[in-house]
Structure 1
């Protein structure tokens, strides 16, 4: 009897546990569904706001680049000017001497030193802004001719950070022999093709003159067949000459 009560009790206990579990799952699912319904508009609005923020960031970056598109940063210019007018004249003289380019003061929009003066005496970089982007591009094309002065684009802070992170990869690609350079915030890599030997071989074949003065091969000219003596005629003549020899000998004895 006690065993039956014990089994019945265990059965009721298991059923209660199962019902409790099902009830919890049902309540949890209902709560989650209600939360999903409440949160769905918030999630949708959040996605829309995120897209708008990304678009605004792109527009701001574009505006920053447009603002700096006429600017140059110059390094290594001696800091011995006493006024902005002196600095302008120094820059004009550098462009005239090194780049053979004529500049007028009205072509410069603004110019000033960046940062605070250093006690070490190292010259501060110069921000130079032109009235037109065309003038800036002309300077960038000839910047390799500058002596003791280095010129670069006026990049935004975000672009400078990206370029800094790409320096290690840039060095690695150049060590591999590839043509690599930075273009704004991107690394451009071009594989170097080794066609020197093929081009040299093609050039040698195409440009080698034919030697027309080479001696011609000697040609053996055979006589015509009709002029050759007939073998039967030769044998007949030889036989006749041999047959006539004894007759002459006997006649001499007589």
Structure 2
């Protein structure tokens, strides 16, 4: 009896396990069916968010495209007009570039005002109306003595550019043309042809001794050669003499 009860119990346990598996599978299938549209919608929303982030990045990039940041400009102006005059005079004296008031979109100091006068002056953001004026300034920025000018990048872009510096140095050490364009590293391999110099033939002392001997043999062979014209002349002369003797 005990064995029969044990067998019956085992069968019931197996059936219950099978039923639980079937129930769980059906529940999971139903959950998947219900979650499928939600997951698809979530994927679509992610794609839209990515597109919006790219658009925002492009707008921010376009907004900063005509901006430059001036570092080291002495801080002592009282109004914005004083700051404009200071920059105009600086660019005219050191760069030879004249900037009119209507070419300036906005200008201001970055950060809070320094309480201590001995502290480093705050950088100045200058936003220009046209891009060609910015290009002209950036081309001549090396002429500045006490100032230096940088692009107006976002914090994220600055971090990316900073992380690309070791790779930039590595590529330049290899001899490649490398530079950072916005937030990407551009590398162009050096395609200059390598000059392969032909190895000059070394002359040994034995070769120098053999060379005169060869020259002597060549000269002897040349001297032993019979000139064809001389042979023809001799034959014609002998024929003429024999003809004269026969006539006589």
Q: Give yes or no for TM over 0.5.
A: yes
Residue 107, structure 1, aligned to residue 103, structure 2? yes
Task: Output aligned runs, 1:1-254, within 5 Å.
Answer: 5-118=1-114, 119=116, 120-195=118-193, 197=195, 224-226=229-231
TM-score normalised to the size of structure 1?
A: 0.72
Q: 1:48 to 1:143 in 2, by over 3 A?
A: same
In 1, Cα distance between equivalents of 2:171 and 2:6: 74
In 1, Cα distance between equivalents of 2:195 and 2:112: 55
Larger CA Rg, structure 1 vs 2: 1
Secondary structure of the residue aligned to 2:69 is strand
Residues 7-63 of structure 1: CA deviation (Å, up to 9, x unaligned): 323322321221111111101011101111211121111111111111111111111
Give the CA deviation at 1:186.
0.8
In 2, Cα distance between equivalents of 1:67 and 1:31: 53
Aligned residues: 210
Secondary structure of the residue aligned to 2:180 is strand
In 1, Cα distance between equivalents of 2:190 and 2:142: 23
Flag structure 2 segments of 5+ consecutive residues without an equivalent. 198-221, 239-248
Residues 44-90 of structure 1: CA deviation (Å, up to 9, x unaligned): 11111111111111111111111111111111222233332222122
Residues 123-168 of structure 1: CA deviation (Å, up to 9, x unaligned): 1111001111111122122222222221121112322222222223
In 2, Cα distance between equivalents of 1:104 and 1:139: 14
Q: RMSD of the alignment, in Å?
A: 2.8
Residues 218-253 of structure 1: CA deviation (Å, up to 9, x unaligned): x99x863158768xx8xxxxxxxxxxxxxxxxxxxx
Flag structure 1 segments of 5+ consecutive residues without an equivalent. 202-218, 234-254
Which 4+ runs in 1 deviate beyond 6 A? Answer: none
Give the CA deviation at 1:112.
1.0
TM-score normalised to the size of structure 2?
A: 0.74
